[in-house]
Amino acid sequence: MNTKLKESVYKGLSSVVIENDILRAEFLPVYGSKMVSLQDLRKGREFLFQRETDKLKKPPHGADFSQYDASGFDEMFPTIDASFYPEGSLQGLKLADHGEVWTESWQCSLDKSEKTLDFAVELPRLKCRLHKKIELDENKIILDYGVHNNNDEPLIFLWAAHPLFKYEQDMELMLPREVEKVINVEDKNLYLGRWGERHGYPFTISRLTGEELDLRSMDPSLPDSCQKFYTAGELTEGFCGVSYPETGARLEMYFPPEQVPYLGIWKSLGELKGDYNLALEPCTGAFDDLYLAHKTGRAAEVKPGSDYEWWLEMRIFA
């Protein structure tokens, strides 16, 4: 199947596009290499949440993510929440909200012989380089990642994918069968209680109403709320997804659990800017804060002069 690469413009910013007869994906190199669109061309379906704005403004380094474009698919590295580097010569280094790479301009090249998009960003403060390669294979988009450590000591990090899928009333979360418990990490959610509370999955009891909650659904009866929870423990199956029962469509995500053993789920039901969307966040560490992840033994680490590599595959079914 023929893959095409081209340069374009998205909401006033330079973009690059990769597409075949089934899928079309668009990225913004100058805006953290954000994936702003993922379309199934067979059905004309856009999977990613997009805000109704005509122009995008590139955020400065250290910006508050909630004050900028919360849409599409961002990369979060080396933390999710604002944090501090936990030890070594970089101990105490302040790390930005949503990580250090979502605000940065990435190098980008269109490899028309290999039919790939290649992105990379240098992080001088952390003395490392993050890169990713994008390719299509029929109904699959494959993202190959790597971080190279230029330090003379181990680099501690947390990477998480942050694809925001647009809300549809029938959308349903898909998790591996092994997931029977999840951990709440969002204090603002009255339904799931305090940070750290464990819940059964897929069903639990609302801490607010005492009624049963189906955590697979995007329940519109829970207005002006948000949920963030992690699967409890490390996964042995690297899988998650979202299905749309009314049409039979689904998007499945696969990743290597040896390198990416954790999974976060974010649901926005109007609490943030009135947005309704769902994020599936395969990640190398938990729970959102690099300092906490390291202190609880849940952070990734790459040796001096070495690479840590992983991949993410998204499969789309009409």
Give the span between the Cα atoms of 223 and 280, in whole angstroms. Answer: 20
How many Cβ atoms are within 10 Å of 52's Cβ, its own excluded?
A: 5
Residues spanned by the domain of 240: 4-317
User: What pLDDT, in 10s, does the model give residues 281-309?
Assistant: 999 999 999 999 999 999 999 999 999 99
Closest CA to 150 of 100, 103, 90: 90
Surface-to-core class of residue 34, CB atoms within 10 Å of its CB (0-12 exposed, 13-18 middle, 19+ buried): buried
User: What pLDDT, in 10s, does the model give residues 133-188?
Assistant: 999 999 999 999 999 999 999 999 999 999 999 999 899 999 999 999 999 999 87
Structure tokens at 237: 């199956």
Number of domains in the chain: 1
pLDDT at 223: 67
pLDDT for residue 317 is more than 70: yes
User: What pLDDT, in 10s, does the model give residues 54-91?
Assistant: 999 999 999 989 889 899 999 999 999 999 999 999 99
Contact 80, 74 (CB under 8 A): no
pLDDT at 52: 87
Collect contacts of 118-124 with beta carbons under 8 A, ≥24 apart. Answer: 119/27, 119/29, 119/33, 121/33
Encode 65-98: b = buried (16+ Cβ within 10 Å), e = exposed: beebbbbbbbbbbbbbbbbebbeeebeeeebbbb
User: What pLDDT, in 10s, does the model give residues 93-136?
Assistant: 999 999 999 999 999 999 989 999 999 999 999 999 999 999 99
Surface-to-core class of residue 208, CB atoms within 10 Å of its CB (0-12 exposed, 13-18 middle, 19+ buried): middle
pTM, two decimals, is: 0.96
Closest CA to 165 of 220, 219, 228, 241: 241
Structure tokens at 17: 């596009």
Mean model confidence pLDDT for the chain: 95
Q: Where are the alpha helices (DSSP H) in the chain?
A: 290-295
3 state SS of 88: helix
Closest CA to 83 of 190, 157, 178: 157
Q: Where are the alpha helices (DSSP H) in 144-265?
A: none
Backbone region of residue 72 per phi and psi (left: phi > 0; alpha: psi in -120 to 50; beta: other values): left
User: What pLDDT, in 10s, does the model give residues 239-287?
Assistant: 999 999 999 999 999 999 999 999 999 999 887 778 899 999 999 999 9
Sign of the torsion angle spanned by Cα atoms 289, 290, 293, 299: positive
CATH number at residue 172: 2.70.98.10
Structure tokens at 39: 């379309």
